[in-house]
Amino acid sequence: MLESRTQNALKPGFDDPVRDSQRVFRAVLAAMSRPGKIVELPESPALPAFDGLPQSALAALLALADLETPVLALSGMDAAGLADYLGFHCGCPAANGPEEAAFILVDGARFEENSPEFARLPRGDALYPDRSATVVMAVPGLGGGFGPLLHGPGINGEAVLEVEGLPESFWEFARNNADLYPLGLDFIFTRGSRLACLPRSIRPGAMSRLGDAPCT
């Protein structure tokens, strides 16, 4: 009949698109400028659930993606459904490959099987370091008190990026990524309604040991 698959699969976005996306943007900005800081996003009960995708990742994408930011979802995600959904609400195109992605959605526990795609993500270039991808990653653990130690811009002394359940190869990848500074990828780690960030300006250090977590 009249309807396409796309139309029937449509689901609602933010309840109040302007204010909700501003709130989420502010929260992501706070997390990105204070690496390791865990922020709780405002509740958005209207948002639908996608397999393997935390609500905070969806909210961040709704707030950040627009006409100029191709989005790519890797294995473990409902790629077609997400492309339709984000295309409808944000107008963002679906990226044809990692090379043209501005945002990439990925399940952190599957980092190793997705590493070929990671290698092809844009890092920006010397004239335009902003032409790089932002990785939005679903992680198995966030806020458990353990993770790599961080220090550098935006951190008073030392902080712990309380992200757990990612393979050691990922942290190796993140350290190499930081060595590319000012080029490189930025990371948003998401779980449930919370998120934390790791910008390219920070090189994740050794894993914190029991009792290392700073009292904040």
Residue 158, Cβ density class (10 Å: 0-12 exposed, 13-18 middle, ≥19 buried): middle
- Residue 2 contacts another protein per CB under 8 A: yes
Query: How many residues interact with another protein (rule CB under 8 A)?
Result: 16
Min dist CB 120 to another protein, Å, is: 32
β-pairing verdict for 134-138 and 149-150: unpaired
Sequence-distant (≥ 6) Cβ neighbours of residue 119 within 8 angstroms: none
Within 10 angstroms of residue 4's Cβ, the number of other Cβ atoms is 9
**What is the Cα–Cα distance from 191 to 193, expressed in whole angstroms?**
6
- Residue 26 contacts another protein per CB under 8 A: no
- Residue 153 contacts another protein per CB under 8 A: no
- Residue 156 contacts another protein per CB under 8 A: no
Q: Of 10 and 29, which CB lies nearer to another protein in the complex structure? A: 10
Contact string 74-93 vs another protein (x = CB under 8 A): --------------xx----
Return residues touching another protein (CB under 8 A). Answer: 1-5, 7-8, 10-13, 15-17, 88-89
